[in-house]
Amino acid sequence: MLNSVDDLTKFNQENVDAAMASLGHISKGVQAIAAGAVDYTKKSLEQSTAALEKILSARSAERAFEIQSDYVKTAYETFIAESNRMSELYADMAKEVYRPFERYVGKVPTFPIAQGLS
Q: Where on the phi/psi map is residue 55: left (φ > 0), alpha (ψ -120 to 50), or beta?
A: alpha
pLDDT digits (tens, 9 = 90+) for 54-93: 999 999 999 999 999 999 999 999 999 999 999 999 999 9
pLDDT digits (tens, 9 = 90+) for 4-50: 778 778 878 888 888 899 999 999 999 999 999 999 999 999 999 99
pTM: 0.71
The CA-to-CA distance between both ends of the chain, in Å, stands at 15
DSSP state, residue 103: G
d(CA 114, CA 116): 5
How many residues are listed for the chain in this entry?
118
What lies within 8 Å, CB to CB, of 99 at 6+ separation is 21, 22, 25
